[in-house]
Amino acid sequence: MQRAILDDSHLAFARMVRDLLDKEVEPYALAWEEEQAIPTSLYRTLGAAGIFGTQIPEEFGGAGESSFTYNAIVLEEIARGSVLLGPATLHHNVVIPYFLHYATHEQQRRWLPGMASGELMGAIAMTEPGGGSDLAGLRTTAVLEGDHYRLNGAKTFITGGANAGLIIVVARTGSGPDRREGLTLLVVENGMPGLERGRKLRKLGLHAQDTVELFFTDVRVPVRNVLGEPGEAFRYLTGNLPQERLAIAVGSMAMAESILADTVAYVGDRQVFGQRLSSMQNTKFVLAGLAAQLEAGRCLVDRAISEHNNGTLTGADAAKVKLFATELQGRVADECLQLFGGYGYMTEYRIARRFTDARITRVYGGSSEIMKTIIAKSMGLR
């Protein structure tokens, strides 16, 4: 089916991104997986191509687009490739929006040009050891002392934290009867004394991207590095969640579609018992069923993109699209790997790496169980 949300300018942009990734990423994907690192030079290459600046105002080196569709195109093209660029997609779709929505003009002038160019990559530090999805219960503290905050605490599962030049840290600066009160966003800059990067965490998948622990010991964060108003972080975090969850859904759908395409090509070539694997009824039924589900998922995701562009995508609807897309991605990866047989278990085959990469999407950005809870509340179920 035709995608009504894309026009000629979108298709031209998609071709540009695809050509860039084919040249700058695909030849090195396996090496990066083995080295468990993405070179920082790639981020500057992506920045120079205008990929990070799609929504950044022109005065700060961006394209000034209000539409999320260009972001979605980048997510899709990355997800169709052989290695997921987690620090890049998080920088583009999660971190930059905080600076667009809550930073002062002075802060934007100071940081956005480098964020657009890829010279200044961002990360966000929310999750704490033992904390999981309970943001209201975080223990990292920041005490106001004159013109700065003294920051202490620890964070974990921080994507892109190893090389980030800017880290948005969620810290408790006050208290109140509601645990969600008194949280503040502080921007910690690379090189600030007391910031320590811990070990790179070993993961089931997403081997190329760095995921680290961060420690803050008496870090002096200037008051001018506060994003938005002190004590309002919980509202800011929940306000940005629909786009974050939509971004995950967009990538999940694109990867699932690409997995299906790879599998169709494979079964057309694979000979089993003297015939093509694609000629067997079970193969046809499995792939036909997945194709129908993916068509439905694509319609759901594209509708969510349109609603987000119009400012009408609700938190509950974002939860629905993330739940549906990520669960579907998992089914597609599992059923397609089965058709590859023993080869599907070999990491030299892209299906094996995608199978493990896909598992995390049902966890980060809010687990499937959290999505169901949000949806149930929107239905009046208490």
Digits of tens for pLDDT over the chain (382 positions)? Answer: 789 999 999 999 999 999 999 999 999 999 999 888 899 999 999 999 999 999 999 999 999 999 999 999 999 999 999 899 999 999 999 999 999 999 999 999 999 999 999 999 999 999 998 766 667 678 899 999 999 999 999 999 999 999 999 999 999 998 777 777 899 999 999 999 999 999 889 999 999 999 999 999 999 999 999 999 999 999 999 899 999 999 999 999 999 999 999 999 999 999 999 999 999 999 999 999 999 999 999 999 999 999 999 999 999 999 999 999 999 999 999 999 999 999 999 998 999 999 999 999 999 999 999 999 999 999 999 8
* pTM (2 d.p.): 0.93
Amino acid at 72: A
The single-letter DSSP state of residue 209 is S
- Cβ–Cβ < 8 Å for 207, 36: yes
Q: Is 98 helix (H, G, I), strand (E, B) or coil?
A: helix
Q: Name 332's bridge partners.
A: none
The model's pLDDT over 5-55, given as tens digits with 9 standing for 90+, comes to 999 999 999 999 999 999 999 999 999 998 888 999 999 999 999 999 999
Q: Catalytic residue positions?
A: 244
Task: Select from 316, 92, 332, 296 the least CA-distant residue to 340.
Answer: 332
Count the alpha carbons within 13 Å of 185 in the hemisphere toward its beta carbon: 21
Check residue 290 and give its pLDDT.
98
Check residue 137 and give its pLDDT.
73
Check residue 32 and give its pLDDT.
94
- Cβ–Cβ < 8 Å for 186, 153: no
Count the alpha carbons within 13 Å of 269 in the hemisphere toward its beta carbon: 7
Check residue 179 and give its pLDDT.
72
The single-letter DSSP state of residue 84 is -
Round to whole Å and give the CA distance between 21 and 254: 15
The model's pLDDT over 74-124, given as tens digits with 9 standing for 90+, comes to 999 999 998 999 999 999 999 999 999 999 999 999 999 999 999 999 999
